[in-house]
Amino acid sequence: MLSSAKKILKYSAKVASATKNKVEAEIKKLVKANNITAQKGKALAKKVLSELKKDKTRLEKFIVAELKKDIKKAKPYLTKGKKIAKKTAKKAEKTATKAAKKALNTAKKKTTRVAKRVAKAVKGR
C-alpha cells in the first residue's frame, strides 16, 4: 500500500514537472505571437505554477489522509491475526510438550527393560 502511495507521489511530481515545462512553452508561444507581453507571461506562468504547487500539496495531503484511513481499517485485522498467531503458538507448544513427554516415557520404559535384561544376564553368570 505504501509503495503505491510513493509511486503516486512520484508520478504526480513527474506530471507537475511536465506541466511546468508545458506551461512555460505555451506562454513563450503566446509571447512570440504577441498575444501577451513578456511581463504578463511571467506573471501568468508564476500564477499557474503556484496553482500547480497548491494542487500537488492538496493531492499529497489527500493521499496521506487516505493512507491513514486504510491503516486504521487494517488495525483490527492485524490485532486478530496476532491473537490467532498466539493461539496457534500455544497449541503448538502444548503438542510439542506432549510429544516430548511421550518420547521421554518411551525412552524410560526401554531403558528400564534394557536395565532389567542386563541385571538378569549379570545374575545368571
Please say whether the beta carbons of 23 and 48 come within 8 A: yes
Looking at the structure of the chain, the number of domains it has is 1
The answer to whether position 68 is within a domain reads yes
On whether residue 45 sits in a domain, the answer given is yes
Domain that holds residue 40: 2-92
pTM: 0.50
Q: Is residue 14 part of a domain?
A: yes
Report the alpha-carbon angle 107-109-115, nearest 5: 100
In a domain, 123, yes or no: no
Mean pLDDT of 17-21: 74
Q: State percent of the chain over pLDDT 70.
A: 84
Express each pLDDT in 63-114 by its tens digit: 888 888 888 888 888 889 999 999 999 999 999 999 999 998 888 888 888 8
How would residue 60 be classed by pLDDT, with cut points 50, 70 and 90?
confident
Distance CA 103, CA 93 (A): 15
